[in-house]
Chains A and B, each alone.
Chain A
Amino acid sequence: MGTLDHFRAAFEALPEAARTAARRAALDAFLAEGLPSTALEDWRYTDLAPLAALPPDALGPDASASTDDAPSTFVDGLDALNRAFAAGGLDRTIDANTRLDAPLRPTARAHQRHRLHLARGSEATLILNTSGDAPFQTVFADITLDAGARLHLIRLNDAGSDAHRITRLRLGIARDANIDMVCVDLGGRLSRHELHVDLAEPGAGVTLNGLYAPTGNGHVDNHIWIEHRAPHCTSRLAFRGIARDKARAVFDGLVRVHPHAQKTDSEQRVANLILSPTAEINAKPELEIHADDVKCTHGATFGQLDEQALFYLRTRGVPEALARTLLTCTFAHDVLQHIRPEDVRARVTQRLLRQMPGGDEMRALQMEGLRMDAQS
């Protein structure tokens, strides 16, 4: 692995007001720790070495003056790196029993460190979008829900083919609170997304729908940990992967049912579509159960497009390439339909179509289809 000196150089180039003691301490912690090695089980399929090879001007530490200068402790080197390079982010509490109608959309800084707290019975939508131009971006967020709160969470990544992304979200969910989340990864060169879900009190629930569809040489890694720490909690995870070209995708999901977390209800399904012989998907849903009265399922499938459906479309006159695109869209639609804000859903769908062969034709059809549905 190359040297990480350019991380320090990028930091030292910041204006003085940005170089606070806390950020510097975080940088030192990161440099002492280094990047995670592929010898670690959680990093087996994802090598962050390309980060060491990024040009210094690609690193983009936030030049804003920091307000919060309290020293922190770090979970690992990446946590420290995010602390050093981010100058803040969303820091917000939603008042009890209130509902935010407009989605929260943090400004598109390269490095972001958010804290969001939903007080009892509140409801909000948060959209974390890492689709900007920054070659290197880290987004870390600490999200906690008090009893009965609801959060609709969307994490989008449709960055360009040179983009490097690291995200880590911690979701703490209290009694009868619930998060539904949609994760979409369509672009980027190298992405690692971590999601830590803590179902901490009875009745807490989480629903995760995800789509990862890297193209070209892209590499997307989703690592998810769901901790069932209390009885009567529910988790639903349904991810879909599409890999084409020489793309690689990693999915690693662990549902851990702690002792006493009786009546846990958990489902983990991962379906993958491999559209090219040079593409690769490593998907590993796992279960670890330490309670005896639980209902847990998990499974992963890997396949190609349904030949029967392909034949069906072709007998109706649809050319093979378009038929393949149509079926691939269908596969993705299963996830995308869960995106609630219509404008976001439309944009993601358009982007997905753009990266598919015959996508233009499909896009025209789809637009027309929407118009026709409106008229019929």
Chain B
Amino acid sequence: MLDIDNLHARIDGQDILKGITLRIRAGEVHAIMGPNGSGKSTLSKLLAGHPDYVVTQGSVRFGGEDLLALDPEARAARGVFLGFQYPVEIPGVSNMVFLKAALNAQRKARGEKELEAADFIAWVRHRVKQMKMDPAMLSRGVNEGFSGGEKKRNEILQMLVLEPKLMVLDETDSGLDIDALKVVADGINLMRSPERAVLLVTHYQRLLDHVQPDFVHVLAGGRIVKSGGPDLARELEEKGYGWLQQAA
């Protein structure tokens, strides 16, 4: 599904990614772990099409297509979703209108029919319930006055409504209490299927207790320095990142 080959990228003249190669197949859950400043967020934003990052070498293919040639909105329509580390507040645009705009735009781009209002509302309310959120939030501004935890929950809600193929979740677990973490993890698990893939970007192993990854990679200094199974995450939790950074 996703083929990242020898990816190099920079921002403001500074090299952040220095040769990342990663293949994610449909049905898989990958976790990328690593210390702060290792390039985790850069990789996430770059996959979603953030305009500030410049790819200097390498390629990213999604479903065989050159992902880097596409606008962020085109990537979304093809099924790439980025859960933000710091979701943005958009006061004045209600969550309902926002979700409607997003889903309709994606459907339109894919040549599908827009949903009828009633069907759309039923669909969104179903997802809101699954995320154990108050339906009243739908008429509030996007993330307006939300706590950190509510914002992260809202990211997963958007993901459930939009049903992407590749879910890149950038530190979605940070700032969550245990209850919220479980709700968020349940949301992610709900989306696991043989047709979809998940890329969890995280600093901690905590989330991986609830969302079992198939592969764990350690990112340090802009490169993947080690890959392994779920055990690697536990090893990192015990030993920290120091030993790997030295190896890198």
Q: Quick check: A329 and B51 within 8 Å, CB to CB?
A: no
Within 8 A of B (CB), among A280-331: 306-309, 311-320, 322-323, 326-327, 329-331
Q: Quick check: B92 and A365 within 8 Å, CB to CB?
A: no
Q: Quick check: A312 and B84 within 8 Å, CB to CB?
A: yes
A128 to chain B, nearest CB (A): 25
Interface stretch of the complex, out of A66-74, A83-91, A145-153, A367-375: A367-375
Q: Quick check: A376 and B135 within 8 Å, CB to CB?
A: yes
Between A337, A366, A373, A376, the greatest number of chain B beta carbons within 10 A of the residue's beta carbon is seen for: A376
Q: Does A92 contact B (CB under 8 A)?
A: no
A376 to chain B, nearest CB (A): 5
Between A331, A334, A373, the greatest number of chain B beta carbons within 10 A of the residue's beta carbon is seen for: A373
Q: Quick check: A316 and B102 within 8 Å, CB to CB?
A: yes
Q: Quick check: B97 and A312 within 8 Å, CB to CB?
A: no
B52 to chain A, nearest CB (A): 8
A317's partner among B73, B92, B138 (CB-CB below 8 A) is B73
Q: Does B69 contact A (CB under 8 A)?
A: no
A211 to chain B, nearest CB (A): 13
If A316-B162, A376-B121 touch, whether A309 touches B88 (CB-CB below 8 Å) is yes
Q: Does B180 contact A (CB under 8 A)?
A: no
Q: Does A44 contact B (CB under 8 A)?
A: no
Q: Does B172 contact A (CB under 8 A)?
A: no
B166 to chain A, nearest CB (A): 12
Alpha-carbon separation in the docked complex, A243 to B106 (Å): 30
State the main secondary structure of chain A at its contact with B. Answer: helix
Q: Quick check: A369 and B97 within 8 Å, CB to CB?
A: yes
A residues less than 8 Å from B135 (CB atoms): 376
Alpha-carbon separation in the docked complex, A312 to B101 (Å): 13
Q: Quick check: B121 and A329 within 8 Å, CB to CB?
A: no
Interface stretch of the complex, out of B74-82, B187-195, B213-221, B235-243: B74-82
If A317-B109, A372-B96, A373-B139 touch, whether A312 touches B90 (CB-CB below 8 Å) is yes
B residues less than 8 Å from A307 (CB atoms): 51
A246 to chain B, nearest CB (A): 27
Q: Quick check: A365 and B97 within 8 Å, CB to CB?
A: yes
Q: Does B34 contact A (CB under 8 A)?
A: no
Q: Does A333 contact B (CB under 8 A)?
A: yes
A319's partner among B103, B105, B158 (CB-CB below 8 A) is B105
B101's partner among A309, A311, A322 (CB-CB below 8 A) is A322
Q: Does B98 contact A (CB under 8 A)?
A: yes
Alpha-carbon separation in the docked complex, A375 to B125 (Å): 11
B residues less than 8 Å from A323 (CB atoms): 73
Q: Does B222 contact A (CB under 8 A)?
A: no
A269 to chain B, nearest CB (A): 16
Q: Quick check: B117 and A334 within 8 Å, CB to CB?
A: no
Instruction: Give the total of A residues in contact with B, Cβ under 8 Å.
Output: 33
Q: Does B37 contact A (CB under 8 A)?
A: no
Q: Does B149 contact A (CB under 8 A)?
A: no
Q: Quick check: B81 and A376 within 8 Å, CB to CB?
A: no
A365's partner among B72, B101, B106, B109 (CB-CB below 8 A) is B101
B residues less than 8 Å from A308 (CB atoms): 88
Alpha-carbon separation in the docked complex, A371 to B96 (Å): 10
Nearest CB to that of B106 among chain A residues? A317
B188 to chain A, nearest CB (A): 17
B residues less than 8 Å from A337 (CB atoms): 92
Alpha-carbon separation in the docked complex, A236 to B142 (Å): 27
Alpha-carbon separation in the docked complex, A309 to B84 (Å): 11
Q: Quick check: B48 and A315 within 8 Å, CB to CB?
A: yes
Q: Quick check: B102 and A369 within 8 Å, CB to CB?
A: no
If A317-B77, A333-B91 touch, whether A311 touches B162 (CB-CB below 8 Å) is no
B49 to chain A, nearest CB (A): 7
Alpha-carbon separation in the docked complex, A334 to B89 (Å): 14
Nearest CB to that of B161 among chain A residues? A316
Within 8 A of B (CB), among A39-60: none
Q: Does B93 contact A (CB under 8 A)?
A: yes
Q: Quick check: A320 and B73 within 8 Å, CB to CB?
A: yes
A182 to chain B, nearest CB (A): 16
Q: Does B59 contact A (CB under 8 A)?
A: no
Alpha-carbon separation in the docked complex, A307 to B51 (Å): 9
Alpha-carbon separation in the docked complex, A322 to B48 (Å): 18
Q: Does B50 contact A (CB under 8 A)?
A: yes
Q: Quick check: B97 and A366 within 8 Å, CB to CB?
A: yes
Interface residues of A, Cβ cutoff 8 Å to B = 306-309, 311-320, 322-323, 326-327, 329-331, 333-334, 337, 365-366, 368-369, 371-373, 375-376
Q: Given A306-B88, A314-B76, A333-B91, output 14 extra A-B contacts at Cβ < 8 Å.
A: A308-B88, A315-B48, A318-B105, A326-B93, A329-B92, A330-B90, A330-B92, A333-B92, A368-B97, A369-B94, A372-B121, A373-B94, A373-B139, A376-B135
- What are the nearest 4 A-B pairs in CB distance? A333-B92, A369-B97, A317-B76, A314-B72
What are 25 of the A-B contact pairs (CB < 8 Å)? A309-B89, A311-B48, A311-B51, A313-B101, A315-B72, A315-B73, A316-B98, A316-B102, A317-B73, A317-B162, A318-B73, A319-B73, A319-B105, A330-B91, A330-B92, A330-B93, A331-B92, A333-B92, A334-B91, A334-B92, A368-B97, A368-B100, A369-B100, A372-B120, A373-B96
